[in-house]
């Protein structure tokens, strides 16, 4: 394998750098975009119970925001829970954009590698062909080894660029789809919390209900005594 890489010439250097960066991004995104990390199971139901019981304080909100991207989104809504529905919704939208942007971290770099991988391979191909033609100009066509070296360098660079670009493109699309799915699920959880916050609190169990006011009888005038 090392001999093949060395035969590709210096055009293999940027391809190898791109492959290392792409591998690091792929491993990091697989770890960071786990569902248990982005949307812990049962978190939405637990937060809605907190909102219904109104048992919230700064410690709860800080712990919730540091828990996960979903927790950060729900904590942003709870921080302004005493405001109007429109203001809470606006806060959710602003926080959601920041959360989605962080979940898409490094994906633009991965997409760029998928795009430039074939171009780097093409560059190596052109360089290999140039070397081959220069060798022909110097020694003529009587030395097939020099021609084979240039052709081999061109083919190795082309194949290497495609080997880097194809997985990078596939996984870039995969991670984009995963982030989109998470955003849809988080939007559903945020909407459910928004409905909970917009609903007036229920009276505590066992609390006496206000009795209906009975109509008061109209006082009759006292009879005159003789």
The domain spans of the chain are 2-198
How many helices (H) and strands (E) the chain has is answered by 9, 0
> pLDDT, tens digit, for every residue of 150-203?
677 778 888 889 999 999 999 999 999 999 999 999 999 999 988 888 776 555
Rg for the chain (alpha carbons), in Å? 34
The SS3 of residue 166 is helix
- Contacts of 68-72 with CB under 8 Å at 24 or more apart are 68/37, 68/38, 68/39, 68/40, 68/43, 69/38, 69/39, 69/99, 69/102, 69/103, 69/182, 69/186, 70/38, 70/39, 70/40, 70/43, 70/44, 70/186, 70/189, 71/40, 71/43, 71/47, 72/99
- Please determine, for residue 49, whether its predicted confidence score (pLDDT) is greater than 80: yes
> pLDDT, tens digit, for every residue of 15-35?
999 999 999 999 999 999 999
The model's pTM is 0.77
Q: How far is Cα 168 from Cα 68, in angstroms, rounded to an integer?
A: 27
């Amino acid at each position: 394998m090392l001999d093949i890489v060395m035969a590709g010439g210096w055009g293999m250097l940027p391809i190898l750098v791109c492959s290392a960066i792409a591998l690091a991004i792929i491993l990091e995104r697989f770890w960071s975009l786990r569902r248990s990390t982005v949307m812990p199971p049962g978190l939405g139901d637990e937060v809605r119970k907190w909102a219904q019981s109104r048992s919230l304080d700064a410690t709860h909100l800080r712990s919730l925001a540091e828990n996960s991207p979903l927790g950060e989104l729900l904590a942003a809504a709870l921080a302004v829970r005493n405001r109007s529905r429109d203001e809470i919704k606006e806060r959710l939208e602003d926080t959601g954009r920041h959360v989605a942007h962080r979940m898409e971290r490094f994906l633009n770099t991965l997409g760029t590698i998928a795009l430039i991988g074939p171009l780097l391979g093409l560059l190596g191909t052109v360089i290999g062909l140039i070397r081959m033609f220069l060798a022909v100009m110097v020694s003529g066509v009587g030395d097939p080894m020099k021609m084979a070296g240039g052709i081999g360098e061109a083919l190795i660079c082309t194949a290497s660029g495609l080997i880097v670009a194809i997985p990078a493109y596939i996984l870039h699309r995969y991670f984009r789809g995963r982030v989109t799915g998470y955003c849809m699920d988080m939007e559903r959880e945020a909407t459910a919390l928004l409905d909970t916050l917009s609903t007036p609190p229920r009276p505590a169990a066992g609390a006496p209900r206000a009795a209906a006011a009975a109509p008061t009888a109209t006082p009759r005038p006292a009879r005159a005594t003789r």
